[in-house]
């Protein structure tokens, strides 16, 4: 049975190499697979690339920032701690995308949707999960100018120089004909979620939550 879920900090950290014990993380991943009764959850080694991988679930870790499957019972996961987790569903394939500032600008969203369409997917719906909001994502004035020149939907105001990742990503998805649902939860403002930027500011433990989707 198809489904989606987003974890919060109380589920624990699902990211490797960010200070948590690796065996604890792997055990947590395994326990989640068992609790949602699907065969396998595929994780990504995310590098802010535009690499999209079609998976049948046989590899539990792939080097990519987006994964697509048309196999039933294969969970696709995306790790985030402020970046935008995007889960896309259709009746025949699903996708998980890691999209932060770089992913928003490198074409990975369009590339993923095109792959789903090439597999015959129709009536695509995307769910954007917990991620940092425009008010909390202030960047340097130079970076702000560089990004909004090419991606105007990310603009807030020159005075605030905050980037609106959710708005630009929502625009890109809509442009591809995908219906968009945004949970509208800011990771930095809500301590129920891990936030990379909050951890940097306060020294609190780093962690990554995940979004998972399966057919």
- What is the contact surface with Zn ion in residues (CB under 5 A)? 133, 135-136, 186, 188-189
Candidates 163, 197, 213; CA nearest to 44 is 213
Using the minimum distance from each CB to Zn ion, give the nearer residue, 124 or 133: 133
Kind of pairing between the strands at 84-89 and 209-214: unpaired
Q: 176-198 burial, b for 16+ CB within 10 Å, e for fewer?
A: bebebebeebbbbeeeebbbbeb
In angstroms, what is the minimal distance from the CB of 186 to Zn ion?
Answer: 3
In angstroms, what is the minimal distance from the CB of 203 to Zn ion?
Answer: 19
Using the minimum distance from each CB to Zn ion, give the nearer residue, 93 or 187: 187
In angstroms, what is the minimal distance from the CB of 138 to Zn ion?
Answer: 10
The neighbour count for residue 96, using CB atoms within 10 Å, is: 31
What does each C-alpha distance from 29 to 7, 12, 41, 48, 157 come to in angstroms?
A: 11, 10, 8, 22, 40
Cβ atoms of 209 and 81 within 8 Å: the answer is yes
Candidates 83, 94, 106, 88; CA nearest to 178 is 88
In angstroms, what is the minimal distance from the CB of 137 to Zn ion?
Answer: 7
In angstroms, what is the minimal distance from the CB of 195 to Zn ion?
Answer: 9
Candidates 64, 27, 20; CA nearest to 42 is 64
- Give 181's DSSP letter: E
Using the minimum distance from each CB to Zn ion, give the nearer residue, 93 or 131: 131
Candidates 156, 157, 100; CA nearest to 131 is 100
In angstroms, what is the minimal distance from the CB of 100 to Zn ion?
Answer: 15
Using the minimum distance from each CB to Zn ion, give the nearer residue, 114 or 135: 135
Using the minimum distance from each CB to Zn ion, give the nearer residue, 1 or 159: 159
């Amino acid at each position: 049975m198809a489904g989606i879920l987003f974890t919060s900090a109380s589920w624990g950290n699902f990211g490797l190499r960010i200070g948590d014990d690796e065996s604890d993380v792997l055990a947590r991943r395994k326990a989640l697979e068992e609790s949602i009764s699907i065969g396998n959850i595929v994780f990504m080694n995310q590098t802010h690339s535009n690499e999209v991988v079609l998976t049948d679930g046989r590899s539990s870790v792939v080097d990519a920032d987006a994964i697509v499957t048309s196999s039933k019972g294969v969970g696709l996961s995306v790790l985030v701690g402020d970046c935008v987790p995007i889960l896309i569903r259709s009746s025949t394939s699903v996708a998980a995308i890691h999209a932060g500032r770089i992913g928003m600008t490198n074409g990975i969203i369009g590339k993923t949707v095109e792959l789903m369409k090439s597999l015959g997917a129709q009536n695509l719906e995307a769910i954007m999960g917990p991620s940092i909001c425009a008010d909390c994502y202030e960047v340097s004035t130079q970076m702000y100018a560089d990004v909004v020149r090419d991606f105007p939907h990310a603009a807030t105001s020159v005075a605030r120089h905050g980037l609106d990742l959710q708005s630009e990503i929502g625009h890109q998805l809509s442009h591809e004909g995908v219906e968009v649902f945004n949970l509208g939860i800011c990771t930095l403002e809500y301590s129920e979620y891990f936030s990379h930027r909050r951890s940097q500011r306060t020294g609190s433990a780093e962690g990554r939550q995940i979004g998972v989707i399966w057919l």
